[in-house]
Amino acid sequence: MPGDPSNLLTGILAQFGEQSRPFVEIAILVVLAGAAVATALNPILEFIDRMRRFGRWLWRSIPSIVRKLFGGRPPTPLPPAEPNRVIPNETTIWELYAPQQPIFPNSNGIPIITVANNKGGVAKTTIAANLAVYFRDRFQKPVLLIDFDYQGSLSQTIRGEAGYTEPDITADILISAPSAAINPALYAREMRRELENVFIYPTTYPFATIENNLMADWLRSEGGDLMYRLCALLRQPAYQEKYCAVLIDCPPRLTTGSINALCASTHLLVPTTLDDMSAQAAEYFLSQISRMSQAETRPVFPKLKVIGIVPSIVYRDGDTLLGEIRTRERLVRYGSSFWRRDDFVLTGASIPRTADISNYAGAGVAYVRKPRARQIFEKLGKEVEKRL
């Protein structure tokens, strides 16, 4: 019968002569016997190996077990603590040299919203650009953007969507000393294509040096209006009557441009990603804002209102990843305890991590490209409107 082991063995033996056949038979028997023995011994060998590994673990663990059961040598004492170090005063130069009489935004004027945080990579630029287009469509009126981040991300985003590729800078005019020869309102660049009625004061890398020089001159002069130059401009009818809103994108630090933005703004929106490091940065930044706006002697921007924290670049809706859920709960507790507000985190208007938005970061405005992105920023825009 085909496949019969006896037939297979007979076939193998037939290949050898009469004299060598007994030795082949013996070799085959030895192999078969060895296989049978190995099969039988395999469970025993596995058990022995497990016992060997357990013994090694037990031998290494005996000292710690003995210490726990009977006590052992006392722990090594910690090195002597360093003397208590006094943390240097973190009061900013803007607080130290703030004018006694600040300039305030118009009480019944258009909303001027600064989008800021002391941490980069949290979608400040993306939110500012897309919210601007939302306000334009919502009020059917021109909207103004100001880019105070010398890297020019907002400028690249807006100008790229409008088809402009060469760098441009006019944002410095807004914080420079007034000049009778220059009308700052004329230097707002008007966009085109899908961004008609969107105006922007763009910036690029030289802006950082301009800011530093302006601050140095201000400190040497021991006073002046540097902090409120933007506020003085945006109070004028040329801005209040033409635009429905102003949105300002700031770098992750309190630069000359940033302090002008905060002093000129009616509202502040703070984006953050939902991780512990970003949450800590947002809380610290907002604590600075609170201190600077509520100082008893020289409040820097006492009229500034905080819209709240908007979670950004979250997975889906921010209700999936455990780490994001914990961070959001932490921020909600912070808003409730420090700001006395249960709605401080815009949980219903989070910006999700989606290709419909990220594919256009720094190169275009997702609001005018993708319906899904439009829905996301419409939801955020409506939530922001409620708090203005």
Calculate mean pLDDT across residues 132-145.
97
pLDDT in tens, 348-381: 999 999 999 999 888 899 999 999 999 999 999 9
pTM above 0.85, yes or no: no
**Alpha-carbon span 256 to 224, nearest angstrom:** 13
Which residues of the chain does CATH 3.40.50.300 include?
Answer: 96-386
Structural contact between residues 34 and 26, judged by C-beta atoms closer than 8 angstroms: no
- pLDDT, mean over the chain: 89
pLDDT in tens, 31-58: 777 777 777 777 887 888 888 888 887 7
Q: Reply yes or no on domain 96-386 having CATH 3.40.50.300.
A: yes
Calculate mean pLDDT across residues 143-170.
95
Calculate mean pLDDT across residues 210-214.
96
Structural contact between residues 143 and 298, judged by C-beta atoms closer than 8 angstroms: no
Structure tokens at 287: 């604590």
- For residue 50, count CB atoms less than 10 angstroms from its CB and return exposed for 0-12, middle for 13-18, buried for 19 or more: exposed
- pLDDT level of residue 5 (50, 70, 90 thresholds): low
Token look-up 């100001």 returns 146
pLDDT in tens, 259-303: 999 999 999 999 999 999 999 999 999 999 999 998 877 889 999
Inter-helix orientation angle 21-70/5-13, to 10°: 120
